[in-house]
Amino acid sequence: MIRIDGLHKYFGDLHVLRGIDLEVQKGEVLSVIGASGSGKSTLLYCINGIEPVQQGSVLVDGIDVHAKTTDLNRLRQRLGMVFQQWNSFPHLTAIQNVALAPQIVKKMSKSEAMEVAAKQLEHVGLGDKLNVFPNALSGGQQQRLAIARALAMDPQYMLFDEATSALDPELVGEVLDTMRVLAEEGMTMICVTHEMGFARDVSDRVAYFHEGIVEEIGSPEQIFSDPKSEQTKKFLAKVR
């Protein structure tokens, strides 16, 4: 379980997260929607400790992410993250991209790591691209490579930060399909997304972010068909 309590985050004087309370249960898929600049990415960065926080706490399976004694490198193995930019390692082939972290972080043997990597690439539909360098892959394929790379660490949670926003429209589908498969397999996921269709179909709950707070949270049916907050209504009217 990921549990966020009274979280505040500042960038200098900029108050970006202004008191977030949120719980994500094992197996749940939470979509986070909201306007640009509302703090969605920042929230994900605070969950895996890339950004420090000024107040409040994030607990991942009971481990306080921002406690001084927490081993973040160890904790991050529980939290896979996929970014808007896929960030493939350009000097490594697809399978090496995926095998690198299992090998050096989890200290797997090379053959073991390669086996895991091949399995995960198969999983995201890149089974025929094992020995291809990233520059020969499309954006959609590179993003699926990034998903496989995160999955190879055997995470308990997956955080997606607008995984499809940088893709050409015709490549969005294949990445969303991969995420859908993960959700069906029971992966616990937090998906920051602008894909309202995906949020509606795949999520168990949808959170609407507005200026650094969770303005409204509920089932997809409730948020999309019967939003309570005026802000949510305004936002949904704009994105439709």
Partner 1 sequence: MEQSVTVFSSFSVQDLSFLGEAALRTLWISFLSITIGSFLGGFFGWALYEMKIWGAIFLNPLLDVFRSVPLIVQLVLFYNFAPIVGLSLDAFESGLVVLTLYTSALVANVARGGIEAVGKPMRIASRSLGMSYLQDMRYVVFPIGARAIFPSWVGVALGVMKDSALVSVLGYVELVKASQVLITRTQEPLLIILVVGAFYFALSYPVSRYSAKLEKRWSQ
Ligand X SMILES: Nc1ncnc2c1ncn2[C@@H]1O[C@H](COP(=O)(O)OP(=O)(O)OP(=O)(O)O)[C@@H](O)[C@H]1O
Q: Which does 37 bind (CB under 5 to 8 A by kind): Mg ion, partner 1, ligand X, none?
A: ligand X
Residue 56 CB contacts under 8 Å (≥ 6 apart), including other chains: 4, 5, 6, 7, 8, 19, 20
Give helix 139-151 / helix 169-184 axis angle, nearest 10°.
20
Helix (H, G, I), strand (E, B) or coil at 55: strand
41 near ligand X (CB under 6 A): yes
Residue 129 contacts which entry, Mg ion, ligand X, partner 1, none (Cβ below 5-8 A, type-dependent): none
Write out the H or E segment, with its range, that includes residue 225: helix 220-225
Q: Could you tell me which stretch among 80-88, 110-118, 171-179, 190-198 binds partner 1 (CB under 8 A)? A: 80-88
Nearer to Mg ion, 41 or 203 (CB): 41
CB-based contact 122:151 (threshold 8 Å): no
31 forms part of the interface with ligand X (CB under 6 A): no
Sequential DSSP letters for 82-115? E-SS----TTS-HHHHHHHHHHHTS---HHHHHH
Please list every residue from 123 through 142 that binds partner 1, using CB under 8 A. Answer: 133
- Identify the residue among 41, 103, 141, 232 touching Mg ion (CB under 5 A): 41
Phi, psi of 51 (to 5 degrees): -110, 135
Binds ligand X (CB under 6 A): choice among 4, 24, 38, 129 = 38
Give CA–CA dist 129/93, Å, rounded. Answer: 9
Whose tokens are 């306007």? That residue is: 35
Q: Name which of 134 and 227 has its Cβ closer to partner 1.
A: 134
Q: How many residues bind ligand X (CB under 6 A)?
A: 11
Residue 100 within binding range of partner 1, rule CB under 8 A: yes
Q: Does 36 bind ligand X (CB under 6 A)?
A: yes
73 makes contact, choosing from ligand X, partner 1, Mg ion, none, with CB < 5 to 8 Å by partner type, with partner 1
Which residues are at the interface with ligand X (CB under 6 A)? 11, 14, 16, 34, 36-42
> Which spans of this chain sit near partner 1 (rule: CB under 8 A)?
48, 50, 73-74, 76-77, 79-81, 83, 85, 87, 89-91, 100-101, 104-106, 133, 146, 149-150, 153
